[in-house]
Amino acid sequence: MEMDRSEAVAELATEAWSYVSEACRSPRLRSICERLEDVLAAALDEAREIELAPYIPRPPVAVEAAARELEQAAREAEEMGLREEASLFWEAARRLAMLARIV
């Protein structure tokens, strides 16, 4: 059975949040995770709006911005030698990029 648009949006947003939450368990990423809080909150709000609305007349700018911020966080985690956490940020960014394309 194929997933409808709102289910897909909800699943991608939930998965992205889950990946970020797991990565942010590392105390070494505290400053990065604090920096991500507002942009992720805005993206999740926008995802909820996308999930509930039959049509969104604008690009999902908050979701796209959060994906870019997560990519930057992944690069920073890699530079710190935190490969597992970096991969979680990359996966979260990928989920948000997929969500942005659904719109």
| pLDDT tens profile 47-57 | 999 888 877 77
Q: Write the CB contacts of 95 (distance below 8 Å, at least 6 apart in sequence).
A: 12, 13, 15, 16, 19
Query: To the nearest whole number, what is the mean pLDDT of the chain?
Result: 93
As a whole number of angstroms, the distance between CA 18 and CA 63 comes to 15
Across 6-28, average pLDDT: 96
Predicted local distance difference test score (pLDDT) of residue 1: 46
Per-residue pLDDT of 61-77, as tens digits, reads 999 999 999 999 999 99
Predicted local distance difference test score (pLDDT) of residue 15: 97
> Which DSSP letter does residue 81 get?
T
